[in-house]
């Protein structure tokens, strides 16, 4: 099973380069592919920063992509948890960091916004230093 890069997912989701989009979709439709957590993080960033997707649009796109039959995620539980929190208004990168820290004894940050958002969502023990 080949691993795929961010640009393959972006082409598949945006179709901005029709030739590459067809090739990306053909690969994903015909082969099982592996997607690392870092590729999903970078895909979120690219869709939001370069393509102007809103947080909700990014979450919807990543959830739909992750649900494709041939897609295998590196950390499906972590990604699902992070996408749930992102869908509910948390920054995706922050949500992914928190999802990785669920077994830890809380989470410490200087980011007051992250701590407020986590508290609003009832997510983990996030404290500002």
Question: Which pLDDT value is given to residue 102?
Answer: 85
Would you say 1 and 31 are in contact if contact means Cβ atoms under 8 Å apart? yes
Question: Which pLDDT value is given to residue 64?
Answer: 96
Asked, for residue 108, whether it belongs to a domain, the answer is no
Question: Which pLDDT value is given to residue 118?
Answer: 93
Nearest one of 48, 38, 50 to 4, comparing CA atoms: 38
Enclosing domain of residue 34: 6-74
Under 8 Å CB-to-CB from 13, ≥6 apart: which residues? 43, 47, 61, 65
Asked, for residue 52, whether it belongs to a domain, the answer is yes
Asked, for residue 69, whether it belongs to a domain, the answer is yes
pLDDT in tens, 64-73: 999 999 999 9
Asked, for residue 37, whether it belongs to a domain, the answer is yes
Return the half-sphere exposure (C-beta side, CA atoms, 13 A cut-off) of residue 125: 4
Query: Roughly what angle, to the nearest 10 degrees, separates helices 112-121 and 92-100?
Result: 70
pLDDT in tens, 11-58: 999 999 999 999 999 999 999 999 999 999 999 999 999 999 999 999
- The pLDDT of residue 124 is above 90: no
pLDDT in tens, 77-122: 999 999 999 999 999 999 999 999 988 999 999 999 999 999 998 8
Would you say 62 and 96 are in contact if contact means Cβ atoms under 8 Å apart? no
Asked, for residue 49, whether it belongs to a domain, the answer is yes
Rounded CA-CA distance 20/10 in Å is 10
3-state secondary structure of 29: helix
How many separate domains does the chain show?
1
Would you say 71 and 15 are in contact if contact means Cβ atoms under 8 Å apart? no
Asked, for residue 58, whether it belongs to a domain, the answer is yes
Rounded CA-CA distance 58/31 in Å is 24
- The pLDDT of residue 123 is above 90: no
Asked, for residue 35, whether it belongs to a domain, the answer is yes
Question: Which pLDDT value is given to residue 103?
Answer: 86
pTM of the model: 0.92
């Amino acid at each position: 099973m080949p691993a795929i890069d961010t640009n393959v997912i972006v082409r598949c989701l945006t179709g901005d380069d029709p030739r590459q989009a067809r090739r990306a979709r053909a690969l994903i439709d015909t082969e099982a592919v592996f997607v690392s957590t870092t590729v999903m993080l970078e895909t979120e960033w690219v869709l939001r920063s370069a393509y102007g997707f809103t947080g909700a649009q990014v979450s919807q796109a990543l959830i739909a992509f992750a649900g494709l039959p041939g897609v295998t995620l590196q950390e499906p539980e972590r990604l699902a948890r992070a996408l749930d929190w992102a869908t509910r208004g948390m920054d995706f990168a922050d949500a992914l960091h928190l999802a990785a820290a669920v077994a830890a004894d809380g989470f410490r940050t200087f980011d007051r916004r992250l701590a407020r958002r986590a508290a609003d969502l009832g997510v983990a023990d996030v404290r500002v230093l």
